[in-house]
Amino acid sequence: MQYQPLSYSFREESVRMALHEVKLCLLGESGVGKTCIVNRFVSDLFSEHESLTVGAAFTTKTVRVDDNSILFQIWDTAGQEKYRGLAPMYYRGSSAAIVVYDITSERSFNEMQTWITELRQLGPQNLVLAIAGNKLDLESSRQVSTATGETFAKNANAIFMETSAKDGHNVQELFKEIAESLPLDKIALENKSSTLKLSRSSQKKENNCTC
């Protein structure tokens, strides 16, 4: 019996798997649980006393869908009103966005609707949109029914899930569904053309260099 060297099967695997880098941002009112959703997704952790996000926080996680590896580049934006003007910096160039509301807060649901309208008008054309009704574990304090969330998401052509960052309900599933909805061929093309533009502009700079 002949043994394959370990490195052989590893190389085979990486050749077969296509790696896609996907920028994703989270938006929504302050306190709805955006950071906690990201922490649950990336590290399977939850904190009852999560501090307010300042500006935006960045993290990554890779998920696998069939023969594709999707490297999510996650921008968790700050929900406080004073940071609202920064949001376009994060949603422009994103391939996916999750707009989060808190099922115990009707106000956060209204804010989510405003975000969806803005994203549909000013966001990228092929943006995969997802709506997360978070804090599902606080069912007894619910102010927004599941049906209301579902109907709004359907009309907005968005993925919809109710989640709990606290107990983890539907958090992995949410990102998986987004990953499965991504137009990976288009994203690969866009990534290629922006790399080309970058290398051309750095080449120009090198040619103009007087040092």
Mark residue 50 as left, alpha or beta (left: phi above 0; alpha: psi -120 to 50; beta: remaining): beta
Residue 134 binding ligand GTP, by CB under 6 A: yes
Name the minimum Å distance from CB 43 to ligand GTP.
13
Contact between 53 and ligand GTP per CB under 6 A: yes
Among 69, 80, 143, 191, binds ligand GTP (CB under 6 A): 80
Q: Are 90 and 77 in contact (CB under 8 A)?
A: yes
**Please, are residues 72 and 63 in contact by the beta-carbon 8 Å criterion?**
yes
> CA-CA distance, 6 to 159, in Å (whole number)?
40
CB of 161 to ligand GTP, least distance (A): 12
Q: Quick one: which of 53, 24, 29 has its CA closest to 112?
A: 29
Of 1, 9, 48, 67, the residue at the interface with ligand GTP (CB under 6 A) is: 48
* Binding span for ligand GTP by CB under 6 A among 118-126, 129-137, 152-160, 173-181: 129-137
Rounded to whole angstroms, how far apart are CA atoms 198 and 177?
A: 31
Residue closer to ligand GTP (CB basis): 37 or 182:
37
**Residues forming the site for ligand GTP (CB under 6 A):** 28, 30-36, 47-50, 52-53, 78-80, 134-135, 137-138, 164-166
